[in-house]
């Protein structure tokens, strides 16, 4: 008997505080730079205020990059530019500080956490804190078999919930969510196509290393075959993740939903995170209000998923590498929006002009915290 009832998330997740967002908009209208002059930074500052339930916005002081890692059996079909089962090498490079996300995180002073859910390697070759949530070694070949058993999918989902709780309890105030996987974009494409009711060719991209035409065709065929297996279980999101997802994707979905429960904002990096967010939206329709799309990765599956969730990426720099890099690139924008929202001075009140309580309070707060 299953112990996991994902329907509970629909009741547990509330939208960010709409009243606070209106207060943030009112405050913005009083500032010396006209509303709209800062473009999307205005909207971003108001989103963050609502997520924090705070006006003025507090600085983002304890962000964290969280990367879920796994190998996907479908990679054996040659759908990736990387060899099947090689995600552990990428994880070691991230941990050693040699991947792009490691370099940028070091420069920005943001810690990076890697969570092994299904790497195809001996767990003894990685640090204990990385492998402690592992569900299995690799995932099944989704074109012909389930990625996971139902029990493994539930365990992975709950591991993601536990990681979200660990981050929220430790004071993390914003998460950049990404993946380290080989074959993960293929699984993500299946989820997006299934949930959006579209064909494989519409969601099949070329991955982080821009595969050649023959590899793209193999990937498209794998997504098409897996899609036939996904459609009969669309009404059961956990079974969908078991059938055509993988342990890393199931964990990311659980992480996203529990982050929304804990009111911890999440920045989505790439197509894998977007696909998991789409599954999360199917489970709890309010949850996407807690998530932010960082960048356009060039993957058509990501574009389809974000369009379905009415999300517009903050950046378009052509970054395809994944591993949280695009999400981390968006972090300075989030911090800039917080600083401008909190620190821009307001127009002085005209003589005799009434000032609301919030405005008076803001004017009397010389010690308000500066944004990071």
The catalytic residues are 323
Q: Is the dihedral of CA 162, 163, 166, 171 positive or negative?
A: negative
Q: Can you give the C-alpha Rg of the chain in angstroms?
A: 21
Return d(Cα 321, Cα 331) in angstroms, integer. Answer: 17
**3-state SS class at 146:** coil
Torsion of CA 207, 209, 213, 219, to 10 degrees: -30
CA atoms lying within 13 Å on the CB side of residue 43: 9
Residues 6+ apart with CB under 8 A from 202: 193, 300, 304
Return d(Cα 172, Cα 186) in angstroms, integer. Answer: 30
Beta strands in the chain (DSSP E): 63-71, 112-118, 174-182, 266-268, 291-293
């Amino acid at each position: 008997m299953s112990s996991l009832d994902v329907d509970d998330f629909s009741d547990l997740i509330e939208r960010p505080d709409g009243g606070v967002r209106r207060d943030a908009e009112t405050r913005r209208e009083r500032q010396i730079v006209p509303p709209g002059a800062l473009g999307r930074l205005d909207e971003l500052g108001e989103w963050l205020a609502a997520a924090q339930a705070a006006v003025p916005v507090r600085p983002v002081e304890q962000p964290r990059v969280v990367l879920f890692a796994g190998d996907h059996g479908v990679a054996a079909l040659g759908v990736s530019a990387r060899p099947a089962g090689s995600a552990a090498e990428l994880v070691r490079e991230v941990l050693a500080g040699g991947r792009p996300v490691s370099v940028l995180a070091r420069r920005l002073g943001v810690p990076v956490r890697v969570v092994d859910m299904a790497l195809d390697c001996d767990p003894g070759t990685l640090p204990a804190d990385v492998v402690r949530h592992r569900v299995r070694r690799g995932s099944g070949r989704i074109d012909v078999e389930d990625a996971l058993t139902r029990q493994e999918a539930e365990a992975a989902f709950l591991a993601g919930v536990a990681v979200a709780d660990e981050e929220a309890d430790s004071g993390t105030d914003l998460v950049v969510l990404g993946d380290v996987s080989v074959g993960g974009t293929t699984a993500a494409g299946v989820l997006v196509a299934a949930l959006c009711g579209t064909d494989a060719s519409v969601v099949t991209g070329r991955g982080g290393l821009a595969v050649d035409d023959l590899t793209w065709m193999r990937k498209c065929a794998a997504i098409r075959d897996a899609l036939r297996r996904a459609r009969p279980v669309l009404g059961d999101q956990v079974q969908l993740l078991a059938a055509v997802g993988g342990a890393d994707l199931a964990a990311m979905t659980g992480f996203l939903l529990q982050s929304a429960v804990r009111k911890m904002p999440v920045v989505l990096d790439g197509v894998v995170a977007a696909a998991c967010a789409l599954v999360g939206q199917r489970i709890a329709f309010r949850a996407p209000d807690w998530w932010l799309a960082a960048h356009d990765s060039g993957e058509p599956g990501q574009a389809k998923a974000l369009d379905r969730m009415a999300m517009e990426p903050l950046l378009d720099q052509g970054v395809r590498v994944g591993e949280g890099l695009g999400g981390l690139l968006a972090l300075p924008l989030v911090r800039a929006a917080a600083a401008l929202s909190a620190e821009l001075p307001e127009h002085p009140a005209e003589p005799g002009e009434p000032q609301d309580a919030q405005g008076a309070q803001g004017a009397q707060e010389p010690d308000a915290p500066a944004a990071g």
